[in-house]
Amino acid sequence: MKIVVAYKWAFNPQDATVDSGGTVTWGRAKAGVSEYDPVAVELGRRLADATGAELIGVSVGGADTASPMATKSALSRGFDRVVVVADDALAGASTTQTALVLAQVIAHIGDVDLVLTGDSSVDVGAQMVPAVLAGALGWPSVMNVTTVSVGAGDLRVERAHEGGSQVLAVTGPVVLAAASDAVVPRVPGMKDILAAGKRPVEKVDLAALATGPSASSVAGVSTSRPELKSRGGRVLAGADVDAVVAELVAALRATNVI
């Protein structure tokens, strides 16, 4: 059995700056394994340990996705090996582009039974890559997954559903997006980090993958800073908390908010 976890090497937008024209610059922002991906790795590691499966990390992105820092950081989370497509043509790739290339890499690995992803990426947060990836593979997909185990001839999947949950029986390969709180990921220790340096990293050339023609195209028209409501920004401070609160209540009442 082969289990793939698709992960992203990404910046946190909190560290970016946006100029008045809406251009985003990452400046001194530091990239990392995207915030919720370690949850998917942990879920995959536990399932791989329980079933004797191989756990493979897959990532596609800009050239830095293949940097030793990036691959070691990913491997230290618990992968047996990683396969990356690192090409600056994929820096800032769209959801669909990312998912289509991921599907090609998964086909390249071959005989994959299960693909896990995190809930969302820290930078884009669209929560769409697993669904598009499944579509490209011709597999079903399920979001908000909390547990995965191997049943008799199928995969048993529990997912959060309308405040409760559902248990699903899945036959055939599937893409599962882990709920962000499905499991608590382990924190890599020194031993994991040292072992990570010895595990295999396969770099796949983007040009070697057959990405089919697309019926749609996207052209940028303009960028801007989001129009935020103009806010009062009135600072209320003072040693007497009751006076501060009274000032707030009076202001809210004067503007009919309460």
Per CB under 8 A, contacts with other proteins among 150-189 are 154, 156, 160-172, 174, 180-181
The minimum distance between CB 9 and other proteins, in angstroms, equals 15
* 144 binds other proteins per the rule CB under 8 A: yes
* Residue 59 CB neighbours (<10 A): 27
Q: Which is nearer to other proteins, 87 or 123 (CB)?
A: 123
Please say which residue, 102 or 204, places its beta carbon nearer to other proteins. 102
Q: Does 195 interact with other proteins (rule: CB under 8 A)?
A: no
Using CB under 8 A as the binding rule, whether residue 210 contacts other proteins is answered as no
Please report how close the Cβ of residue 38 comes to other proteins at its closest, in angstroms.
Answer: 14
Provide the greatest CA pair distance for the chain. Answer: 69
Q: Is the dihedral of CA 85, 86, 92, 93 positive or negative?
A: negative
Does residue 167 sit in helix, strand or coil? strand
Binding flag, residue 143, other proteins (CB under 8 A)? yes
The least CB distance from residue 84 to other proteins, in Å, is 21
> Helix, strand, or coil here: 186?
coil
Q: From the list 140, 186, 192, 199, which residue makes contact with other proteins (rule: CB under 8 A)? A: 140
Q: Closer to other proteins at the Cβ: 17 or 189? A: 17
Would you count residue 235 as binding other proteins (CB under 8 A)? yes
Of the pair 79, 139, the CB lying nearest other proteins is at: 139
Pairwise CA distance, residues 83 & 73, whole Å: 14
CB nearer to other proteins: give 5 or 182: 182
Q: Are 130 and 117 in contact (CB under 8 A)?
A: yes
CA 106 to chain CA centroid, nearest Å: 17
Positive or negative torsion for Cα 85, 89, 93, 99: negative
CA angle at residue 122 from 208 to 226, to 5 degrees? Answer: 110
**Any idea how long the chain is?**
258
- Residue 107 is a binding residue for other proteins (CB under 8 A): no
Is the Cβ–Cβ distance between 85 and 105 less than 8 Å?
Answer: yes
- Tell me which of 66, 114, 120, 204 binds other proteins, using CB under 8 A: 120
Of 130, 148, 185, 196, the one binding other proteins by CB under 8 A? 130
Q: How many chain residues interact with other proteins (CB under 8 A)?
A: 90
Q: Least distance from C-beta 216 to other proteins, angstroms?
A: 3
Q: Report helix, strand or coil for 61.
A: strand
Q: Under rule CB under 8 A, which residues in 8-47 are in contact with other proteins?
A: 13-14, 16, 18, 22-24
What region does 219 belong to: left with phi over 0, alpha with psi -120 to 50, or beta?
beta
Task: For other proteins, give the closer residue by CB, 190 or 239.
Answer: 239
